Amino acid sequence: MPHLNNCSRFADCTDKEEGYECKCKPDYHDQNPSNPGTNCKFIINECSAENLNDCDKNAECVDTIDGYECKCKAPYKDQMPENPGRVCRYNECADPKLNDCDKNADCIDTDDGFICQCKLGFFDENTDPSKTGRVCIGLVIDQPQQTEKSTLSPNLVPCGNAFCRVDLHEVCIGGSKCGCRPGESRSSPNDKCVAVTSVPIVVRVIDFDGEPLHYSTDYSKPTSPEHVQIVEDAVKVNPFQ
């Protein structure tokens, strides 16, 4: 009977010749070993379900009597030694052998791996958006290592005997001259390179309706009927509109 012993209700009571013995039931932990079976606590396996622990997905959860422990799996590295196993990362960018980024690209570590991004002044030749920064074409040539500390402005990039301006989005083409990236253009050397959306062209009209045109001052007058008619007909057949 319970009032004849002090065993926990989560313990088994075994009768002895000189009294009784208490022993915690399976799945219960004895909280007072000096007086067995009197204080039994149910053991919760926090590692049995993800919502019971905060271990990183790349960590191993180890159940313990008082809770649980997290330990990063190899080759992942622990980023929070003060709270192990909560942030486990495999930094492929830490070693060039672990990633396939171009030497002229920056490697950016992510939770799921890494991404490569061509450095400023280099053009990404790869058209696959999932494989950026693997082939960065040499619009900027490698410069010999300088023995003295350089005082060159970060806005200038060496290019042959000249310097390309970063603020104008210039790149070094062929290691000898500054220009715009493929797909970009500008009106003058001092303008910024921008994406090409339209190209102004000059068209010389030499015939009209299959008949050769003879020069007349009326064609040079924007308000003349002849000038207006030719412009309207040219707009109708303009392939760039």
pLDDT tens over the chain, length 241 residues: 557 899 999 999 999 988 999 999 998 989 999 999 999 988 888 998 989 999 999 999 999 888 899 999 988 889 898 999 999 988 889 888 889 999 999 999 887 788 999 888 788 888 888 889 999 887 644 444 544 555 567 788 888 788 888 889 888 877 778 888 877 888 888 899 888 765 555 556 666 666 676 666 666 667 777 777 777 776 555 443 4
List of domains in the chain: 2-43 (2.10.25), 47-90 (2.10.25), 102-137 (no CATH), 156-195 (no CATH), 207-236 (no CATH)
pLDDT of 177 reads 83
- One DSSP character per residue, 92-156 reads GGGSGGG----TTEEEEEETTEEEEEEPTT-EE----GGGTTS-EE-SSPPPPPPSS-----TTE
The whole-angstrom separation of Cα 85 and Cα 55 is 6
Q: What is the pTM of this model?
A: 0.38
